[in-house]
Structure 1
């Protein structure tokens, strides 16, 4: 019984082992199927990766070719930038030198023009001052002479009035003398005492009036004599006319000098204006030079940045080519 039991247990154990083996076999088959699927997936992925690797290799070759071309272009561009920078620096130096020369020439021209104009102005002002001084003195002399002539003319007019008065007195004297002679003749012919006395009184009155007239005539003659002498010493009407003409000419000359002086002031103002314009042009040229320097500095900054970017691009290209070589060298 014991043997059968053991056999039965062994059979049961064997059956259990078989069942477990069958299950393990099924599990193993499932695992193998899964493993085959996974291997197939991996094979497909490997095929895809190989295909992608080939495509990536072709792209890398194209990229390497493009990078090489770009590198050559970068080197050529850097050389051009260096040449442009050298030419720009040379042109700027030439421009600075030319501006400096123009500035010096402009300063010399402005200084020479100012000195020449100032000398001309000073000489002309000195000549005008001398001319004005002479004209002022001549005008003073002429004014004194004109005043004297005016006084002489007024005195001559008074003298003419006195001559007329003297002439009237002479006529009255002649009239009185004629009347006295007539009265004397009448007295000699008169026989009536009353008429004779009347005529005598009349003659006495006439003689007294005649005496007063003679005294007045002598007094007027004394007053007129100095006037006559001064009139004789005075210039004639022709000389006075020439003097007036000379005064007119001097007034015209004075007006001409005043006009020239005004014109000279205008010329001085114009010279000052031209000098200011030249100074403005110089300031504009200096401002343009400063602007060019600023533009040059900006161009240099841009050129340096471009060079840095190109150098960084070249470094990235070199690194990419190195990584590509390392990738292709891997098994």
Structure 2
């Protein structure tokens, strides 16, 4: 049976090698580019065509989402009216692997007429675009990583990595925080994880099955059936959490043929279970539940007094509130 990993591994190794070399090559020109963008109060223009254009779109999106307003300008459409997006002084990053893309070369004098600092992100630092730019970002590499050696694979990865390097340098320079990031990502799971608190989506105490350590397994199963959240909390009279019993605990107990009318909740509960405070972010909850060898589907939630306040499930985290 034919396998397909050889070509896949070759391109990944090629891209990794080129990006590693790029990290060692960053220097004064990179510093100039970051300082130019950092000192500009307006937006950044990202320009390119073809595959470089798609990389440019992604770089513009990354910059915009991390506190540096940026827009993508197609080099062909620019001269047919899209130059209207320009404001005097907007720096431009022009992307081309060859550094000789005719559409980009043709538009460079036009962009300069706007007082724009021209930054060439090119695979050939000794190219026409590099010579006509104010700043050159060297995105060179040995060869494309595809079996033909001509498909934009390594070149695209290196250009994209350079864009990420610029964005991350700006994040650091601006002191851009997770809170700032959340402002620009109010929708989607990223935004939910950063913006919402556990208390915003958790199941309240009234919705949770609660049992005492002396309750029988039958009583526990009945409580979990009436309020099916995947777990029951074992509490004392003051709502202090003593343990947790999950659906899985019940199934494992039945396999061991334990008598459900005589066995007590305390016999099968997990003592001192992992918990989370209701003031924690959803991102904290995700990390606590998923970044572990054995993932958790439900967590008891405690209030500031360390008393049980409710339960949160992965389902609650990943289901938008209506």
TM-score range, shorter chain: under 0.3
Higher helix content, 1 or 2? 1
Larger Rg: 1
Higher strand content, 1 or 2? 2
Q: TM-score, normalised by structure 2?
A: 0.17
Q: TM-score, normalised by structure 1?
A: 0.17
